[in-house]
Chains A and B, each alone.
Chain A
Amino acid sequence: MTSSSLHHGYPSQANSGAITHGHEHEHDHGPAKGITRWLFTTNHKDIGTLYLWFSLIMFLLGGALIMLVRAELFKPGLQLMDPNFFNQLTTMHGLIMVFGAVMPAFVGLANWMIPLMIGAPDMALPRMNNWSFWILPFAFTILLSTLVLPGSAPNFGWTFYAPLSTTYGPKSTDFFIFSVHLMGMSSILGSINIIATILNLRAPGMTMMKMPIFVWTWLITAFLLIGVMPVLAGGVTMVLMDRHFGTTFFNAAGGGDPVLFQHIFWFFGHPEVYIMILPSFGIMSEIIPTFSRKKLFGYSSMVYATASIGILSFLVWAHHMFTTGMPVWGELFFMFATMLIAVPTGVKVFNWVATMFRGALSFEAPMLFAVAFLIMFTMGGFSGLMLSIVPADFQYHDTYFVVAHFHYVLVPGAIFGIIAAVYYWLPKWTGHMYSETLSKFHFWLSAIFLNVTFFPMHFLGLAGMPRRIPDYALQFADFNRIVSIGAFVFGASQFLFVYIVIKTIRGGKKATARVWEGSHGLEWTLPSPPPYHSFTTPPRID
């Protein structure tokens, strides 16, 4: 086979592997040619590819913005920008990373892998799938345009508290609101699709408790999305109403309350961060057993633990609001509920370690990222536990301690999950092995320098440095310099990842169907790369 890539043709049905030769000759045409292929595709593999490229571009863009921030924070004093531009950068960094990088990447992985993993020919609603993706470039054009149009881009933090966003927000706030509505529609439609696919299109014999854990985590994530994205939409609409239609939801003058905004936002916001991590948990549950050559320890516990985390995530939102002046019994409830989430999360970590223990381990790139996840996500979990303790939170809240916490759960948590998944499945998608040597460079640079970047932030927060400030007192200077250097090297290392991905698409050692010695699952029964239409006849599962 000549080098086939994600962009060129797929092997036709007739030449594909054992599973898929069938009698459906109407699928022999393969993908369309040119730009119309990508605009009108209803193929889950193409759409997955679109989401993944989109999220990679957004990741680099969001990263570029924060490089500017870290350049300003390299030394005390204002060197490069005025404080308003600084606030715009931090706001847009958050919005782009959350809604443009992490979420679309997980959706892209879901699109590519869920049908393959359950033996389905495609997603349940392929045309809606196309629309779910194509909303995003429009949404982000609107959002990103605020950086270049006259006036200030959103500058109130990705959490856009009222009244800073309502009464005092710049004109671009309305662009931001419209953009969030579009992103929300994309997520909701995508989630409906995922649930319909998982519930209805599993191959015969694949009961729910036989599904790969990645499918389980996405099933639960999709329910979380459907539950909370409408709340965000409601909140953002209320902001629009307060800004332009004379309402006072968040304005005490008319009987409203700024804290109401925080309740609405965080009722969305907390499940949102679990939405950003659960698929990563699923990825770990695929990768670790493969490279341990041992079945995942405690499959049912992993399912129940994930479901518990999903349910609990709805009950803890006010732990972001401990300093707003809540009554004691409210603070106690949210403290206890938040601490409780550590139990199922701990169970998952123990199960992963138990999978590794007495396995036969090898450390290719996906496993390196998985081990880094295990260690550093757990560290992020510990700082989260510290944050849940209300009296201590009074000292941590809105400081760099919080920034350290969520970057430890998001970068080695969500991002490393995505990167691990890409290395894990890239040979399947492209038919080529990536360069193991280069990937190891990428891993070590990323792992070391993310710690150089984010570990000192714990100290900065404890020493008293607040968040979202462009300039700081002198006692914070040394750690800030270290953080900035770490950030620059970490950021630069990601270009190596882009190079590796492109290089692998264009060519490399031919990948087998199985790719990894310890891999199990339906996706590994297909050739690498799989045919454009796979599992047109569902496989039988014993």
Chain B
Amino acid sequence: MKARYRTGSLVFGLALLAILMFGFTFALVPLYNVFCKVTGLNGKVDARHPAVYPRYKVENEVGISRVIAVEFDVNRNQEIRCEIKPRHTVMQIKPGELNTTSYYIKNLTDRKIIIQAIPSISPGLAARYLKKLECFCFTPQVLQPFESMDLPLRFWLEPEIPESVRRLTLSYTLFDVTNLKKEAPRGS
């Protein structure tokens, strides 16, 4: 069959395509961050950076009559030898109100450890409405041998949180990241 193309230009075109596709995969990293920001798709793990608290006008926007139970839960991954207790196990939260609680963490070992708390929220659809102003989960925490700390958490529930949410659980899992090569994951 007579070739309807020139081999050279075909090879050039295919090589260019391969390079472009490789570049595309690299570009996906910032592209995904943009995508998640724009669509608000965060699922169960909410954005790991401080949010800005819009000072809601109490009468207009804060849902005074509405109260949502927020449970505070902790898990320790694998054999992490660390004690962790939330100061409150459950708080009755009004959407729009800025709230503060804390977690007591103690390193039970005689070595320095670095822990990373990873949040998870259930029900998943409530996750995007829980905003944190200050959280020990934003960065890895270094604990010296036997050191204990009270780590604060300042958060609010956006008033837009759906009516169907009556109770939500904020659960932290503590991971030992002392040996993990990477730092905390980049926020957006």
Contact = CB atoms under 8 A, between A and B. Distances in A.
Contacts of B181: 246
B116 A253 contact: yes
Interface stretch (B53-61, B144-152, B155-163, B172-180): B172-180
Contacts of A150: none
A248 interface: yes
B175 A252 contact: yes
Given A248-B180, A327-B124, A327-B125, A254 B185 contact: yes
Interface in A247-279: 247-248, 252-255, 257
A238 to B, nearest CB: 13
Nearest to B125: A327
B124 A253 contact: no
B48 A253 contact: no
Given A253-B177, A254-B180, A325 B124 contact: yes
Contacts of B118: 252-253, 255
B174 to A, nearest CB: 9
Most chain A CB inside 10 Å of its own CB: which residue of B1, B122, B185: B185
Interface in A229-259: 246-248, 252-255, 257
Nearest to B25: A234
A255 B177 contact: no
B182 interface: yes
B100 interface: no
A246 B180 contact: yes
Nearest to B117: A253
Nearest to B78: A167
Nearest to B44: A325
Nearest to B177: A253
B77 interface: yes
A200 B2 CA distance: 12
Contacts of A327: 124-125
Nearest to B183: A254
B173 A254 contact: no
Interface in B101-118: 116, 118
Interface residues of A, number: 11
Contacts of B184: 255
Nearest to A256: B185
B175 A253 contact: yes
Nearest to B120: A252
A255 B185 CA distance: 6
A496 to B, nearest CB: 47
Q: Tell me the interface secondary structure of chain B in the complex.
A: loop
Contacts of B122: 325
Contacts of B116: 253-254
A253 B77 contact: yes
Contacts of B182: 246-248, 254
A252 B124 contact: no
A246 B185 CA distance: 13
A254 B44 CA distance: 15
A253 B78 CA distance: 11
Nearest to B186: A255
Interface string A315-339: 0000000000101000000000000
Contacts of A200: 1
A536 to B, nearest CB: 15
Given A246-B182, A325-B124, A327-B125, A252 B173 contact: yes
B180 A253 contact: yes
Interface string A179-196: 000000000000000000
B169 to A, nearest CB: 13
Contacts of B45: 252, 255, 257
Interface in B20-52: 44-45, 48
A254 B48 contact: no
A253 B172 CA distance: 11
A278 B44 CA distance: 37
A393 B6 CA distance: 55
B105 to A, nearest CB: 16
Nearest to A252: B118
Contacts of B185: 248, 254-255
Given A248-B182, A253-B116, A327-B125, 8 more contacts: A200-B1, A246-B182, A253-B77, A253-B176, A254-B116, A254-B177, A325-B124, A327-B124
13 contacts: A246-B180, A246-B181, A248-B180, A248-B185, A252-B45, A252-B120, A253-B118, A253-B176, A254-B180, A255-B45, A257-B45, A325-B44, A327-B124
Interface of B: 1, 44-45, 48, 77, 116, 118, 120, 122, 124-125, 173, 175-177, 180-182, 184-185
Interface of A: 200, 246-248, 252-255, 257, 325, 327
Closest 3 CB pairs of A and B: A255-B185, A246-B181, A253-B175
